[in-house]
């Protein structure tokens, strides 16, 4: 694999392949100029122009969300005009959450779980406040390097202001919220919270919470644990569903029986994240203020006070902050044995961490950047005129007018829902099983 990347990426050398998805391949690369390592995500679909490449939903989302300590950073976009290939050069991290917990025999320490979940909630709070929801939060899309967690793979994201119905089959089945399963695409950003709750349980128990084999089995597994929802709630779902469904009454075993050693605050947050009714489900911003994260918030507040008092973090001030956070951000040995359950596709993985955590980020920082970050646009072969000094500016108000993230129709296959051919069958009077394996696409 130690060969140079195709024309257009002469500055990078392939080290090894680290992931493959439905629409992209990911390889570990090395920049030949500075020797740093990156993740290169190359789209399988071709693009006609650099303008269309920059209008891809994933590219727009990464620009709008950057910079943030818990969001994958896009360093460079490379468009090869001769082949129509788009490559995203991103930071490289060690592994994803699925790889981290795969094959483990003992549960993770509570402070490690708390650390990762706090950062995951911070990434979702930032996304949602910027008017974007992810739609595919799962262990494979959550990347870590020691104590730092970052959310990646924004190819499925949508604007919170886009009107439903949305694509039905978007999130991976095991992490799909009830409103995604029981309606014709009438869901919102709260689906990300449900998915994060499923990830929360999986990090604590080392096993998936709802590993359904098909859509009907997925609903049944949710009801086995949480019980059958009230008829009033089901009636609300039926208003946007071209089918009838009547589920047998179940009380549900409850989540606490599945993780008997779970601390009470963690169990409280977990139940609020997995509320069946999306209107009752906790928001990411509220989750950050939950009692479960009280210790981390106090450490952040103390660190911020010391920082403002000393002006800079050097000498004694830096050591005091480090000591105050040591028991929370203590490094965890990463289990790298890849054995256990089935192989699942690994998404974009990233690198070059500058912060062990983000305790010094203040809550009063504006959510909406007035100008997008500058990216180095490389156009090989025949040069395309493109301004690299500035990026387009987002004019954002807080009145629900955030522009939707829309990409130009340069890829006909990407524009169509993956399971469009199955929608007609899905809207009948029963939920037929789909040919998907192990919670994947």
- The binding site for ATP comprises 41
> By three-state DSSP, how is residue 30 classified?
strand
Task: Pick the closest to residue 41 from 67, 64, 62 (CA basis).
Answer: 62
Query: Is residue 435 annotated as part of the catalytic site, yes or no?
Result: no
Task: Pick the closest to residue 99 from 335, 433, 407 (CA basis).
Answer: 335
Residues 6+ apart with CB under 8 A from 11: 31, 32, 33, 378
Q: Of the listed 34, 80, 110, 136, which one is catalytic? A: 136
Q: Do 165 and 219 meet the contact criterion of CB atoms below 8 Å apart?
A: no
CA distance 65 to 60: 9
How does DSSP assign 321-373, residue by residue?
HHHHHTTTS---PPP----SS--------------S--TT--TTS-SS-SSPP
Task: Pick the closest to residue 218 from 250, 261, 270, 174 (CA basis).
Answer: 174
CA distance 194 to 12: 39
Q: Do 118 and 288 meet the contact criterion of CB atoms below 8 Å apart?
A: yes
Please give the positions annotated as active site. Answer: 136
């Amino acid at each position: 694999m130690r060969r140079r990347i195709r024309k257009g990426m002469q500055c990078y050398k392939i080290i090894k392949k680290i992931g493959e998805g439905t629409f992209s391949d990911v390889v570990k690369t090395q920049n030949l100029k500075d020797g740093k390592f990156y993740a290169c995500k190359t789209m399988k679909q071709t693009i006609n122009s650099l303008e269309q490449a920059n209008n891809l939903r994933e590219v727009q989302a990464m620009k709008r969300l950057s910079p943030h300590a818990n969001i994958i950073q896009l360093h460079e976009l490379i468009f090869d005009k001769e082949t129509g290939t788009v490559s995203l050069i991103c930071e490289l991290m060690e592994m994803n959450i699925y790889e981290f917990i795969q094959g483990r025999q003992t549960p993770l320490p509570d402070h490690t779980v708390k650390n990762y979940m706090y950062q995951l909630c911070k990434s979702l709070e930032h996304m949602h406040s910027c008017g974007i929801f992810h739609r595919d939060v799962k262990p494979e899309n959550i990347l870590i390097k020691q104590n730092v967690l970052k959310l990646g793979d924004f190819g499925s994201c949508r604007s919170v202001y886009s009107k439903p119905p949305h694509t039905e089959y978007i999130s991976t089945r095991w992490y799909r919220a009830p409103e995604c399963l029981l309606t014709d695409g009438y869901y919102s950003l709260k689906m990300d919270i449900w998915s994060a709750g499923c990830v929360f349980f999986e990090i604590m128990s080392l096993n998936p919470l709802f590993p359904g084999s098909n859509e009907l089995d997925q609903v049944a597994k949710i009801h086995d644990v949480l019980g059958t929802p009230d008829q009033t709630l089901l009636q609300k779902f039926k208003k946007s569903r071209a089918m009838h469904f009547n589920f047998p009454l179940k009380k549900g075993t409850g989540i606490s029986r599945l993780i008997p050693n779970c601390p009470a605050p963690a169990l409280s947050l977990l139940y609020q994240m997995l509320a069946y009714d999306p209107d009752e489900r906790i928001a990411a911003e509220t989750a950050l203020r939950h009692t479960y994260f009280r210790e981390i918030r106090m450490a952040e507040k103390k660190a911020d006070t010391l920082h403002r008092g000393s002006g800079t973090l050097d000498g004694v001030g830096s050591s005091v902050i480090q000591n105050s956070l040591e028991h929370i951000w203590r490094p965890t040995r990463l289990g790298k044995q890849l054995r256990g359950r089935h192989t699942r596709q690994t998404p974009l993985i990233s690198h070059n961490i500058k912060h062990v955590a983000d305790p010094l980020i203040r809550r009063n920082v504006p959510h909406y950047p007035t100008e997008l970050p500058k990216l180095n646009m490389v156009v090989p072969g025949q040069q395309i005129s493109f301004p690299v000094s500035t990026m387009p500016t987002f004019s954002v108000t807080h009145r629900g007018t955030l522009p939707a993230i829309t990409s130009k129709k340069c890829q006909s296959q990407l524009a169509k829902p993956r399971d469009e051919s199955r929608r007609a069958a899905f809207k009948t009077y029963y939920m037929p099983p789909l040919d998907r394996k192990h919670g994947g696409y």
